[in-house]
Chains A and B, each alone.
Chain A
């Protein structure tokens, strides 16, 4: 990377950055310095102000006060294009790529000015080889796995010769093995002088990869650490100001009868780039938590929506408490005692513009909240209030619109709502995705308690650590096929990692 003659020892320097949103301080006088070739972690709980800070650096949001210095000189970054011109690149958690065109075309779309596709393709291959990010430039994007898509995002970023690269939770979509390969790439980039800002809540990763860490809490810098010199527990304590409560698990004793059973469930996807489900068989009994691991894009979305009833399947493929519900709609399944927490919170699990009370009514209407077709407002408010209190949802009250809550708090509310319905079967997708350490521990405990009270719980998650922490049995979904579940005690994380990559007897028939 060719940098201009440095006027400062630091690539990026933030001085007292402050950003206020409707009464709350998202960033309160945050200062931070990143040297060339440094891998710098920004850690903090949900709502601590990490994302706001990154958006300010990348020009997507403007600070109210404070100064950004770039190579020692004050810099004004009014928009992301200006950030890219300075040499700041960002790899988002959710990719911004087009499914229907090729890799090189996707990259060309992001570059300014005219381009020569053939030369660009050669450049992409060359750069990919140099950093260990091999991709075939002419493959259509929809054929790529999620890990490959992330490579494309990173390559697109690298082509702009960044001197600072921001990565927001990059490993949430990778197998453990793929995450290791990403770390190698990032180390190589750092050796070449590129600075890296790394946002993650996975403390083990940060200890492995990062040189320095800045810890944010409630918008302020509460400490910094050299992650290699401290334990994960110490980092967690810095983030939260307290230690996370350990998860408590009663012994596992499941009911003899399955409450949820999938019998060779097969279904073609609705979306042309979706994944077909093939012969998925699984039984979830009362009293247990079964986890489904897998890299996203292997049929999780399709499986979960077939279970919830948002999509139906042929009859005799899906039984709920003995009833054949494959072809029945959502409402019929909910009446039989199914509850469901979807992966998308805003817009699916909750209506962004409506209040928490209205969002409690969304799926809670069966709990005597509607009388003769009219909404019993006071009962709805009480139900919402109970959820807020019991699950410690931080908000201004039941009248607060769902979109004003932070992601973690909204997840607590949605999980709280579904658990409060006292379901006999609960299906949860990504229960703690983007949720801070303390809240995640709390939610996991709630899931365990629900299962121990006799409910059947099915958790679909990309986070292996989480599945190993709470599940009694674990299966892996790969390209629409499900491996037979094994008891957690018999599972090793490396084996599950291999299954996630499609290696194992369960998937040999698929090849």
Chain B
């Protein structure tokens, strides 16, 4: 009898770094082909619509980048913590609170032109996210609670808070009682980069964040301390790196990026608050962080991929008349294969003969 066994490689395999994602795409396509075929759809055509169709027009590319931007920004912040074994599952809530904080300024000052309004909103968004993240940080540092549970539950609190605000104190008085705020004034909105497209200057914030993240994790001593805390907590204690500082930094950075992403969405494509302001960016960013292997370039590519999967999923539904569940199944398969293929980078497969 033959048996397969995994043996750890002493060093990661370089060829597989490129090969593994390709293999994952191939396997996801093969695995989903029966699904497409059973509905009478051509799987190769579906692949084309998924990955190429959305990027055929300038508007498509604008939407692609606009969706990728918050995903990448949030994922970068989360990656800082994930590297240090601080598991923040609450980016969705921090995003929401960031959007609320920024909106308070937008509604108060947005009617007249103010040069400093957008920067102030950015600051407010980041502060909102950090404030929300300070709750699990405090509880973890002083009461050793699990940040996973606290951040997860705070997502629901934030969603309910938003629901209350848009139905109450922040509701548009002239809005026919719809649960939403007034539309922001022009000075509280990012200007589109091109006439007719929705993409705006906030994508440069994300690009800057990629560079900052790179400097933090690859070059700074702080990033090194956090990496050691994640890889070997006993070694971090041995070297005298303070655990509470790692917790605080991880949660503050991820809170700030998620809050900023919330601000960017509110002051960008949304232009106002309503009960639902996110298609699940805060959760999808967790996937982006891991698909990108917590690496700066990887997270950027991961965000672009996930954004494309969002658009492709819609495109398949529109142009092939495929059910929404089919595009979601394909998205899920691809992500599972992508994460599973990572095993090949760190391990080699050996065939054992068992009597």
Contacts and interface: CB of A to CB of B under 8 A. Distances in A.
Interface of A: 21-22, 62, 76, 78, 308-310, 329-331, 333-334, 340, 342, 344, 347-354, 358, 361-363, 365, 370, 373-375, 401, 403-404
Contacts of B234: 344, 347-348
A70 B299 CA distance: 54
Nearest to B355: A76
Contacts of A308: 238
25 contacts: A308-B238, A309-B240, A329-B240, A331-B240, A340-B238, A348-B238, A349-B235, A351-B235, A352-B232, A353-B231, A354-B227, A354-B231, A358-B224, A361-B224, A362-B239, A363-B238, A363-B239, A365-B221, A373-B221, A373-B222, A374-B220, A374-B221, A375-B219, A401-B10, A403-B10
Given A308-B238, A310-B237, A361-B224, A351 B232 contact: yes
Given A78-B354, A347-B232, A353-B231, A310 B220 contact: no
Given A361-B224, A374-B221, A401-B10, 15 more contacts: A21-B10, A78-B352, A78-B355, A329-B240, A330-B238, A333-B240, A334-B240, A344-B234, A348-B232, A362-B228, A365-B221, A373-B220, A374-B219, A375-B220, A404-B10
A22 B10 contact: yes
Nearest to B354: A78
Interface in B209-246: 215, 219-222, 224, 227-228, 231-232, 234-235, 237-240, 242
Contacts of A333: 240
A511 B240 CA distance: 37
A264 B238 CA distance: 24
B355 A330 contact: no
Contact of B242 (A22, A329, A342, A401): A329
A365 B355 CA distance: 53
B195 interface: no
B10 A347 contact: no
- Lowest 7 CB-CB distances: which A-B pairs, in order? A330-B240, A331-B240, A348-B234, A370-B221, A351-B232, A22-B10, A362-B239
B321 to A, nearest CB: 49
Interface in B138-164: none
B238 A401 contact: no
Contacts of A365: 221
A349 B236 CA distance: 9
A80 to B, nearest CB: 14
Interface of B: 9-11, 215, 219-222, 224, 227-228, 231-232, 234-235, 237-240, 242, 352, 354-355
A76 B355 CA distance: 7
B79 to A, nearest CB: 17
Contacts of A76: 355
A347 B16 CA distance: 27
B71 to A, nearest CB: 28
Given A373-B221, A375-B220, A401 B228 contact: no
A66 to B, nearest CB: 14
B231 to A, nearest CB: 5
Contacts of B11: 401, 404
B237 to A, nearest CB: 5
A330 B221 contact: no
Contacts of B231: 351-354
A73 to B, nearest CB: 13
Nearest to A375: B221
A354 B242 CA distance: 19
Contacts of A62: 352
B238 A310 contact: yes
A310 B221 CA distance: 20
A363 B9 CA distance: 27
Nearest to A308: B238
B195 to A, nearest CB: 42
A470 B196 CA distance: 81
A342 B222 contact: no
Contacts of B228: 351, 354, 362
B67 to A, nearest CB: 33
A290 B242 CA distance: 30
A362 B236 CA distance: 8
A358 B227 CA distance: 11
A101 to B, nearest CB: 26
Contacts of B355: 76, 78
Nearest to A353: B231
A349 B238 contact: yes
Contacts of A340: 238
A403 B222 CA distance: 23
Nearest to A371: B221
B237 A330 contact: yes
A375 B216 CA distance: 10
A308 B238 CA distance: 8
Contacts of A354: 227-228, 231
A404 B10 CA distance: 7
Nearest to A399: B11
Looking at A21, A309, A365, the one whose CB has the most chain B CB atoms below 10 A away is: A365
Nearest to B228: A351
A308 B239 CA distance: 10
A430 to B, nearest CB: 15
A365 B228 CA distance: 13
Nearest to B352: A62
Contacts of A334: 240
A350 B235 contact: yes
A78 B3 CA distance: 11
A308 B232 CA distance: 17
Looking at A62, A334, A362, A403, the one whose CB has the most chain B CB atoms below 10 A away is: A362
Contacts of B220: 373-375
A351 B85 CA distance: 15
A149 B234 CA distance: 26
Contacts of A403: 10
Nearest to B238: A348
Looking at A347, A350, A404, the one whose CB has the most chain B CB atoms below 10 A away is: A347
A301 B355 CA distance: 45
A353 B228 CA distance: 10
Nearest to A332: B240
Contacts of A358: 224
Nearest to A365: B221
Contacts of A352: 231-232
Nearest to B234: A348
Nearest to A345: B235
Contacts of A347: 232, 234-235
Nearest to A364: B239
A21 B222 CA distance: 35
Contacts of A361: 221, 224
A22 B228 CA distance: 26
Nearest to A329: B240
Looking at B234, B237, B239, B355, the one whose CB has the most chain A CB atoms below 10 A away is: B239
A352 B235 CA distance: 10
A269 B279 CA distance: 50
B219 A342 contact: no
Nearest to A363: B239
A387 to B, nearest CB: 16
A331 B355 CA distance: 55
